[in-house]
């Protein structure tokens, strides 16, 4: 890094949130320095690709294994659309029109997410979308845009009271730490955020980092030779998010453009550890996921070799200090992945911040304060909803009652358009703040519950009245007899 950007903005973390935030800021005319402790993921992909053409397929396989795919939905798309990026991102996505539920006996049932072409999820590669955003940042600025400096292998290690950042240039082996004093700092450095840790030294920041009992393990369903039942080498229906709900654990699979699927097993840590032994793991899959096992040729090796990941919710309060340091994305509000909203909410943060800066006419402290007031309750609600949806995905999706309830909500929505078709629709496909969606659907459910109880009571009263009438009539008949 050549000079300290005293007037510019520093974004810490060139992941999904940081890269998109930098694009929004550049468009506003701000000079942006984007720092990340990683090396440039575009360079890593190029090395992997050239190794693959040289016959180094295993390297490519390893590189792609890290690039789990993500469900991109309308909140994330709305932010990308504002910058004119949505179409290009969607070109590389695979549409998922609904949940494909796999019963233990191998029967499958598609539960559509919605009724319109808009109400679909899009499976995108994390690495590809990150690389795409970085490519855009590397393009020369257009008229009125600010300059962007990308600094990989730059690790932020401290934040001073005067708003200065201490940065280690790890590429420059052993170089002394440097200090920069930007006008505005955005901490987009993920759920173990160093900016957040440092912020807690400057203000009374409360933090809850709560792990759940379950973790995850990624597994692959490779593409088949072209053709086959689903075409293009897909071993399963490509336009669906596959779910094997088994109550205490579940397997899901999202499609990739190359015909493969990325599977993720969510289960207790104890079970995930037991499955490391193929003598346990393979019979377990044969018993619970027989149809998936049939399309997972590398399962035995992956059960042993693939890392297990932990799942946690991060809540902190506040997300900002001194009118110049702000947390966004997972650094502010990491959630468990069961609503597929972490990246979507991070992208929504970028859009909301852009709007707040517009409304505050570039007054950064004012924009930060109004951004936080709007986003904090929304992201707190998302954290709760994401935890609840684990139960829904691994248990309720398999139940008839769940399907019936969704059909009832959809029918009510047709009669009364303001009725939310389902909580899933409100969270995934509407722009409604998450807390508003949650409250609205809870209210609808309580209304339905009351209507159900009143109907039961009326049926009961009618039954008693009928019984009384019948017994009265037979008594009269008896008297006449
Ligand atoms: P990150 O992606 O973690 O990026 C943080 C960046 O900061 C990294 O590049 C890191 O190198 C850098 N960094 C960290 N520390 C420093 C430092 N000290 N100095 C400089 N740089 C630093 N979301 C969805 O919307 N849909 C899904 O389907 C979905 N599925 C998921 C499945 C799983 C299994 C998991 C775990 C998550 C899923 N998510 C999903 C959530 C999503 O991955 C995250 O919400 C998203 O990656 C958050 O982006 P971020 O930029 O805030 O953080």
Is residue 112 in some structural domain? no
Is residue 319 in some structural domain? yes
Q: What is the ipTM of this complex?
A: 0.99
Domain boundary among 310, 342, 368: 310
Is residue 195 in some structural domain? yes
* pLDDT given at position 64: 40
For residue 59, give both structure tokens.
């390297």
Low-confidence ranges of the chain (pLDDT < 70): 1-6, 45-67, 227, 473-481
Q: Minimal CA–CA distance to 367: which of 184, 196, 187?
A: 184
How many domains would you assign to the chain? Answer: 3
Domain boundary among 293, 310, 327: 310
For residue 288, give both structure tokens.
């619970």
Query: Is 36 close to ligand 1, i.e. is its CB under 6 Å away?
Result: yes
39 and 161 together in one domain: yes
Please enumerate in sequence order all residues whose Cβ is within 8 A of that of 124, keeping only pairs 6 or more positions apart, or say none: 69, 70, 71, 72, 89, 92, 93
Query: Is 335 close to ligand 1, i.e. is its CB under 6 Å away?
Result: no
* Centroid of ligand 1 to alpha carbon of 466 (angstroms): 63
* pLDDT given at position 354: 98
Query: Is 343 close to ligand 1, i.e. is its CB under 6 Å away?
Result: yes
Is residue 301 in some structural domain? yes
CATH of the domain at 78: 3.50.50.60
* Centroid of ligand 1 to alpha carbon of 16 (angstroms): 6
154 and 85 together in one domain: yes
71 and 220 together in one domain: no
Distance between first and last Cα of the chain: 107
Atom of ligand 1 nearest to the CA of 70: 28
- Which domain range does residue 163 map to? 9-94+120-211+314-387
* pLDDT given at position 478: 59
Q: Minimal CA–CA distance to 93: which of 298, 282, 238, 230?
A: 238
49 and 193 together in one domain: yes
Q: Whose CA is nearest to atom 34 of ligand 1?
A: 337
Is residue 22 in some structural domain? yes
pLDDT tens sequence across 358-377: 999 989 999 999 999 999 99
Atom of ligand 1 nearest to the CA of 329: 52
* pLDDT given at position 293: 97
* pLDDT given at position 475: 65
163 and 305 together in one domain: no
Phi, psi (rounded to 5 degrees) for 162? -85, 10
Q: Whose CA is nearest to atom 26 of ligand 1?
A: 340
* Centroid of ligand 1 to alpha carbon of 346 (angstroms): 9
* pLDDT given at position 447: 81
Phi, psi (rounded to 5 degrees) for 10? -110, 125
Q: How are strands ordered across the β-sheet holding 108-112?
A: 108-112, 98-102, 241-245, 250-255, 261-268, 206-221, 308-317
183 and 301 together in one domain: no
167 and 225 together in one domain: no
Q: Which residue is associated with the tokens 């911040």?
A: 353
* Centroid of ligand 1 to alpha carbon of 329 (angstroms): 8
318 and 306 together in one domain: no
* pLDDT given at position 3: 43
Is residue 274 in some structural domain? yes
201 and 241 together in one domain: no
429 and 457 together in one domain: yes
* Centroid of ligand 1 to alpha carbon of 310 (angstroms): 13
* pLDDT given at position 20: 98
Q: How are strands ordered across the β-sheet holding 165-169?
A: 154-159, 165-169, 178-180
Query: Is 348 close to ligand 1, i.e. is its CB under 6 Å away?
Result: no
* Max CA pair span of the chain: 110
Query: Is 45 close to ligand 1, i.e. is its CB under 6 Å away?
Result: no
* pLDDT given at position 477: 61
Q: Whose CA is nearest to atom 38 of ligand 1?
A: 337
354 and 422 together in one domain: no
Domain boundary among 310, 332, 365: 310
Is residue 108 in some structural domain? no
Is residue 107 in some structural domain? no
205 and 216 together in one domain: no
């Amino acid at each position: 890094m050549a000079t300290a950007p005293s007037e510019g903005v520093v974004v810490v973390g060139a992941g999904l949130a940081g890269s998109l935030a930098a694009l929004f800021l550049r468009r506003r005319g701000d000079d942006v320095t984007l720092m990340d402790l990683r090396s440039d993921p575009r360079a890593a992909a190029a090395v992997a690709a050239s190794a693959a053409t040289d016959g180094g397929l295993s390297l490519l396989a390893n590189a792609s294994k890290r690039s789990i795919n993500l469900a991109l939905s309308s909140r994330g798309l709305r932010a990308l659309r504002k910058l004119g990026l949505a179409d290009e991102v969607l070109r590389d996505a695979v549409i998922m029109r609904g949940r494909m539920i796999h019963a233990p006996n191998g029967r499958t049932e598609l539960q559509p997410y919605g009724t319109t072409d808009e109400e679909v999820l899009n499976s995108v590669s994390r690495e590809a979308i990150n690389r795409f955003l970085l490519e855009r940042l590397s393009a020369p600025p257009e008229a009125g845009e600010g300059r962007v400096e990308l600094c990989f292998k730059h690790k932020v290690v401290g934040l001073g009271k005067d708003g200065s950042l201490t940065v280690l240039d790890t590429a420059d082996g052993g170089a002394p730490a440097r200090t920069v004093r930007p006008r505005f700092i955005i901490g987009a450095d993920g759920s173990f955020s160093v900016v957040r840790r440092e912020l807690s030294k400057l203000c009374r920041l409360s933090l809850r980092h709560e792990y759940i009992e379950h973790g995850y393990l990624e597994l692959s369903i490779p593409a088949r030779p072209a053709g086959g039942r689903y075409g293009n080498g897909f071993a399963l229906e490509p336009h669906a998010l596959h779910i094997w709900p088994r109550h205490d654990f579940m397997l899901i699979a999202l499609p990739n453009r190359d015909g493969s699927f990325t599977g993720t097993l969510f289960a207790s840590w104890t079970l995930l550890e037991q499955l490391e032994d193929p003598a346990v793991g393979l019979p377990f899959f044969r018993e619970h996921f027989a149809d998936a096992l049939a399309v997972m040729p590398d399962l035995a090796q992956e059960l042993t070799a693939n890392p297990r990941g932990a799942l946690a919710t991060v809540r902190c309060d506040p997300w900002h200090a001194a009118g110049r340091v702000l947390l966004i994305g997972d650094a502010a509000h990491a959630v468990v992945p069961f609503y597929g909203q972490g990246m979507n909410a991070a992208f929504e943060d970028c859009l909301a911040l852009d709007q707040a800066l517009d409304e505050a006419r570039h007054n950064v402290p004012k924009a930060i304060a109004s951004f936080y007031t709007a986003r904090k309750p929304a992201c707190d609600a998302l954290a709760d909803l994401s935890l609840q949806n684990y139960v829904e995905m691994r248990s309720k999706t398999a139940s008839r009652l769940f399907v019936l309830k969704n059909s009832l909500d959809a029918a009510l929505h047709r009669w009364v358009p303001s009725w939310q078709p389902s909580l899933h629709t409100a969270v995934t496909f509407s722009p409604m703040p998450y807390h508003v969606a949650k409250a609205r659907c809870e209210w609808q459910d309580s209304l339905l519950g009351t209507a159900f109880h009143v109907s039961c009571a009326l049926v009961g009263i009618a039954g008693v009245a009928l019984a009384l009438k019948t017994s009265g009539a037979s008594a009269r008949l008896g008297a006449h007899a």
